[in-house]
Chain A
Amino acid sequence: EAAVTQSPRNKVAVTGGKVTLSCNQTNNHNNMYWYRQDTGHGLRLIHYSYGAGSTEKGDIPDGYKASRPSQENFSLILELATPSQTSVYFCASGDARGGNTEVFFGKGTRLTVV
């Protein structure tokens, strides 16, 4: 079974502070993704990556940065956290063959910005 591990699982941050969410995958997948999930919005794509050193903007990238230092690791960085970024964040990984292969999700990080 493909494995995607997120840390931390829960985080409380102060407004204006810096937050880093980490993700590690052992699937040897090229593609990695960060989504956020809010009630009524499903999963919205923030950033994604095609491999080490690559980051691409998704549909809602404002206020977020991403870093892919290696095949296995993909981080999401909130430089100046705001209450509107309170959400559940999911990391995922997928094969480079793309749309006809399954994407595997981590268990999520619940972030609360106060």
Chain B
Amino acid sequence: QQNVQQSPESLIVPEGARTSLNCTFSDSASQYFWWYRQHSGKAPKALMSIFSNGEKEEGRFTIHLNKASLHFSLHIRDSQPSDSALYLCAVSWPNYNVLYFGSGTKLTVEP
């Protein structure tokens, strides 16, 4: 059984700040790691994924993965008000056909 935990529960940052969201998982054999973003009242939508240790950057967003530490994170550079949303991390392991989600971090970016 996968146990996915997120921190912090909520975060308020000023526009232009660098934001860091954290996720821990319970099985070091886990292989597929995702961040989903859900704007208020909308469907969750995939933001980024990573499948091996290290770092992956896409625009203002960067994912770090450290499987030995059972930890991955999402970093947002130059945060914008449009980034305000619920961020959900997910791990697709032990059943790689299923996403196991954390409880989410609510991010608010203030203008």
Contact = CB atoms under 8 A, between A and B. Distances in A.
A binds B: yes
Interface of A: 4, 31, 33, 35, 40-45, 48, 50, 58-59, 90, 94, 96, 98-100, 102-103, 105-108
B103 A41 contact: yes
Given A42-B88, A43-B44, A43-B88, A103 B99 contact: yes
Given A40-B103, A99-B31, A99-B92, A45 B42 contact: no
Interface stretch (B45-53, B59-67, B74-82): B45-53
28 contacts: A31-B97, A35-B101, A40-B9, A41-B103, A42-B103, A43-B44, A45-B98, A45-B99, A48-B97, A48-B98, A59-B100, A90-B43, A94-B97, A94-B99, A96-B97, A98-B32, A98-B92, A98-B96, A98-B97, A99-B92, A99-B93, A99-B99, A100-B32, A100-B96, A103-B99, A105-B44, A105-B45, A107-B43
Contacts of B42: 107
B44 A50 contact: no
Interface residues of B, number: 25
A102 B31 CA distance: 14
A72 to B, nearest CB: 18
A90 B44 contact: yes
Nearest to A96: B97
A40 B100 CA distance: 15
